[in-house]
Chain A
Amino acid sequence: MSDQAVLFERKTAGIAVVTLNRPNVHNAFNDVMIAQLTNCLNEIATDEKIRVMLLQSKGKSFSSGADLNWMRAAVDNSADQNVEDAKKLAGLFHRLDTMPIPTVVRVQGPAFAGGLGLVACCDIALGAKGAKFAVAEVKLGLIPAVISPYLAQAIGASAARQFFQTAEVFGANKAKQIGLLHEAVDSAHLDSTVTKVIKSILGNAQGANRACKKLIYEIGSQVSEEFRADTARQIASIRSTVEAQEGMSAFFERRHPQWVEEK
């Protein structure tokens, strides 16, 4: 059904394919998509028959992150509602990061802001050479709050300091170099690369894969519930500021925000 924000398909041999399906808005996620994606991941997480998950998206862009219309409207909600909404977003990344099975993500095009967060929460990230990336939040007066723990783990503190603060666009090769992508291949070879990795996983023992995934989480710097709630409060608070509201308005009005000096 085309009005589904997220498509979910069970393939043979225990493969779950999850497809972001809002191509007309570059697969940006709003409250509907966050809820659908979270539900879908919950279903996969409790299905013992599923052995590997593939996350992909429709259209040219992988995902441009949170839908700015939805972000901007948060200011109209009560403070509590605003934080609750942000917690759902934080919950989505946590859900993806802690899936009990190996997760593969197919990044066919640009991934910005929260879209980059989705990539960082997966185990194996395979991208097309033409894909572009940016931790774009500060450009809009926002911060990469809820994705920061996952992204910083994936790319390391040094790259996080650079890209969180410059919001600059970087290519797939750079993404591979800093550890965000595992492979950057020609678009024509993206599907075969995905297939190869999934086949490797299917050749492994399911119980061991699940146990291994648990272990990876246990030994990694686990993101505590407290810290997640704190990141949610931070994004809820900053998106209500005059600065962020101006940044997001400027984006929609296709103009520079006030803090950019006109030349």
Chain B
Amino acid sequence: MAEQEVLLSIDARGIGTITINRPQVYNAYNADLLEALGQAIEAFVDDKHVRIIQIRSNGKLFQAGADINWLKANSSNSLEVNRSISELTTNTFKTLNECSKPLVVLVQGGCFGGGVGIVAAADIVISEEGVEFAITEVRWGLVAGPILTQLVSAIGLQNTRRFSLTAELFDANRALEIGLIHHVCPVGGLDKAVLPVFELLLRAGPNALNATKQLIFDATGTSLDDKTAHWIINQNASQRQSSEASEGLASFVERRKPSWYPRGKENDQNY
């Protein structure tokens, strides 16, 4: 049997833990991982023993976003196949973002592309110091569609405009400043740093927590509606099939710069 993409456990306090488990590819997600992640959230939401859900991951890097090899293998596939990938991605992020129980995410090492979407979908995020973040999609000719709505909710429109268009790296302190994460702890200190968060959440009435979370979405109108989801899925699928994306994905796999990358001295000047 292949190794499990996500590991699940529930402790006596009612904390359900989802551990993303593809450390050999920096926990990048493919279809199997996304499906397992969505199912895990749904199972924990339905399980009355689970009061709080936490997501963490094995290995050096929290999450590297989509598995580029998986995307590359499918970008030349039919529009139908690409739509189903975009649909799965968008729906999984919706499930994460709108999960009715408190969701805590613990981040180590680095967090890129869709990984930033997992973080933005959480209620409380703790990151080790020095962790690097980037919304990298445009670098590979892709569009971060499925995670953009929750990014706007988490870091605001202007920060989304900047970081999704530049794809630049930012560190945990900057992530804290823009509201993507809530607490920075020393390297190796995630387990300790999350204790008081669990303590507080366990003191709260479970039904009150769920009702509060529901109200936050209803009051701010930040649930992903079907029309926007449909639009995101179509756009995401067609951009992945573009020649630009295939060049971007190829350049990633071949460890070279894509054809559009600026060359020459004129790019070193100030504008």
Contacts and interface: CB of A to CB of B under 8 A. Distances in A.
Interface of A: 11-13, 15, 17, 54, 102, 120, 123-125, 153-154, 156, 179-180, 182, 191-192, 194-195, 197-209, 211-216, 218-220
Given A200-B166, A213-B165, A205 B140 contact: yes
Contacts, number: 132
B138 to A, nearest CB: 4
Contacts of A201: 165-166
Contact of B270 (A194, A205, A208, A213): A194
Given A203-B167, A203-B261, A219-B149, A211 B157 contact: no
Contacts of B139: 203-205
22 contacts: A15-B271, A17-B271, A120-B158, A124-B162, A124-B165, A154-B157, A182-B159, A182-B162, A197-B162, A199-B262, A200-B167, A204-B138, A205-B142, A205-B244, A208-B142, A208-B245, A211-B239, A212-B143, A216-B148, A216-B165, A219-B149, A219-B228
Nearest to B258: A205
B23 interface: no
A208 B266 contact: no
Contacts of A209: 138, 165
The secondary-structure label for the interface of chain B is helix
Interface residues of B, number: 44
B193 to A, nearest CB: 25
Interface in B135-161: 137-145, 148-149, 152, 156-161
A218 B157 contact: no
A208 B271 contact: no
B42 interface: no
B245 A215 contact: no
A205 B248 contact: yes
A207 B244 contact: yes
By Cβ-Cβ distance, the 4 closest A-B pairs, closest first, are A205-B141, A123-B161, A204-B138, A200-B166
